[in-house]
Amino acid sequence: MEEKKRIMSGMRPTGRLHLGHYLGVLKNWKQLQEDYDCFFSVADWHALTTGYDKTDVLKENVLNVVMDWLACGIDPDKATVFVQSTIPEVAELNIYLGMVTPQNWVERDPTLKDMAKILKNKEGQNSQIGFGLMGYPVLMSADIVSVNAHYVPVGKDQVAHVELTRDMVRRFNNVYKTNYFVEPQPKLNECSLICGVDGAKMGKSFNNDIKISDTEEVTAKRIMQCITDRSRARKNDPGHPDKCEVAFKYWQIFGNENEIADIEKECIAGARGCADCKRQLAAKVNEYFKDIREKRKYYEAHLDEVQGILEEGSAKARKVTQKVLNDVRNIIGMY
């Protein structure tokens, strides 16, 4: 049997995940675990690069992220799920990759520049980028090469990082006259993007998100806040679904073809009030996430099971990373 190609991806533990994470990332991962040997890492070291002084909820955040993954269908029998900081091999690979990475490669990194800007806004002009944050792209590359991954599913904002990993791998292979490391390829997440209830990008920090683990009540409340066709004053006015900035977009994601066509027709004819429309939408969204939320409740009540899954995942990942690290040490010529 031909061996499956390896996939590596990670997510920073920022807390409970929202519908954007589900539609934009997790649905994709769930599909990929069927055809690839997948490694999914909770990147807690990456969380430290900007939050080393805010670790009081770090453990809780890690567990929340993992419970969301599992609830959404990431299957520990198919994919290897683990916490980054339980894989010491990644830290050592980070050292070796750092050696072959010119400083200006990481300085050029666009995501890093953005983070520096955000930090400046938060902490003032004198904020300093930590050495750890500077090394963020190298650490991510260490994750990727620790299992010698072929593909890295990421969003558009992370493609530059995978390109950088390819550069590092090429440099490593050149310097040590080897072809040991695979040049990993980015695999764009091609799922529908969902905006926040205010029409901006959905994000925890914008307070416009709906969490995977929100109750049906909270979900309904959030959806009632969704922006609709702003030009519509009364509920019998003809509406414009194409100008309905959030509610109709959500229908297009969660409704079936017939529903969407009917809603469009009724809206245009002025036969559908926005409040009713959103009440129905809330019921639809709650239906869509019903099983996922039930599964999440199960894991919340069985934390020891979640921890067991992470322990097993870590052991499984380390079988691979230990072999890679051992090979790398030999290739470089370490003692």
Give me the residues that bind ligand SF4 (CB under 6 A), please.
228-229, 232, 239, 241, 244, 247-248, 263, 267, 272, 274, 277-278
CB of 301 to ligand TRP, least distance (A): 29
Give me 235's structure tokens: 């509920």
Which helix (H) or strand (E) segment holds residue 244: the answer is none
Q: Kindly tell me which of 11 and 285 has the beta carbon lying closer to ligand TRP.
A: 11
Q: Kindly tell me which of 235 and 329 has the beta carbon lying closer to ligand SF4.
A: 235
80: Cβ–Cβ under 8 A, 6 or more apart, which residues? 37, 38, 39, 40, 313, 316, 317
Report how far residue 311's alpha carbon sits from residue 59's, in angstroms, rounded to the nearest whole number. 14
Which helix (H) or strand (E) segment holds residue 153: the answer is strand 151-154
- Residue 171 has phi, psi (to 5 degrees) of -65, -45
- Partner touching 8 among ligand TRP, ligand SF4, none, CB below 5 to 8 Å by kind: ligand TRP
Task: Specify whether the CB–CB gap between 64 and 296 falls below 8 A.
Answer: no
Q: Is 154 in the site for ligand TRP (CB under 6 A)?
A: yes
Q: Is 97 in the site for ligand TRP (CB under 6 A)?
A: no
Q: Is 11 in the site for ligand TRP (CB under 6 A)?
A: yes
Q: Is 10 in the site for ligand TRP (CB under 6 A)?
A: yes
Report how far residue 32's alpha carbon sits from residue 153's, in angstroms, rounded to the nearest whole number. 9
Beta-sheet strand order (sheet of 185-188): 80-83, 37-42, 6-11, 151-154, 185-188
Q: Is 43 in the site for ligand TRP (CB under 6 A)?
A: yes
195: DSSP letter: B
Strand partners, 10: 41
Stretch that binds ligand TRP, among 26-34, 138-146, 285-293, 312-320 (CB under 6 A): 138-146
Q: Within a 13 Å sphere around the CA of 83, how many CA atoms are in the beta-carbon half?
A: 22
Q: Is 9 in the site for ligand TRP (CB under 6 A)?
A: yes
Which helix (H) or strand (E) segment holds residue 140: the answer is helix 136-146
CB of 132 to ligand TRP, least distance (A): 13
Q: Kindly tell me which of 140 and 285 has the beta carbon lying closer to ligand TRP.
A: 140
Q: Is 168 in the site for ligand TRP (CB under 6 A)?
A: no
Pick the binder of ligand TRP from 143, 209, 214, 229 (CB under 6 A). 143
- Partner touching 248 among ligand TRP, ligand SF4, none, CB below 5 to 8 Å by kind: ligand SF4
Report how far residue 187's alpha carbon sits from residue 150's, in angstroms, rounded to the nearest whole number. 10
Q: Kindly tell me which of 97 and 244 has the beta carbon lying closer to ligand TRP.
A: 97
Nearest residue to 277 via CA among 255, 296, 305, 257 = 255
Q: How far apart are the first and last CA of the chain?
A: 36
Report how far residue 269's alpha carbon sits from residue 264's, in angstroms, rounded to the nearest whole number. 9
Sign of the dihedral defined by the CA atoms of residues 114, 116, 117, 123, in that order? positive
Pick the binder of ligand TRP from 81, 90, 145, 152 (CB under 6 A). 152
CB of 255 to ligand SF4, least distance (A): 10
Pick the binder of ligand TRP from 146, 158, 219, 286 (CB under 6 A). 158
Stretch that binds ligand TRP, among 2-10, 117-125, 256-264, 269-277 (CB under 6 A): 2-10
Report how far residue 108's alpha carbon sits from residue 106's, in angstroms, rounded to the nearest whole number. 5
CB of 75 to ligand SF4, least distance (A): 36
Q: Is 166 in the site for ligand TRP (CB under 6 A)?
A: no
- Partner touching 79 among ligand SF4, ligand TRP, none, CB below 5 to 8 Å by kind: none
Enumerate binding residues for ligand TRP (CB under 6 A).
Answer: 8-12, 41, 43, 46, 140, 143-144, 152, 154, 158
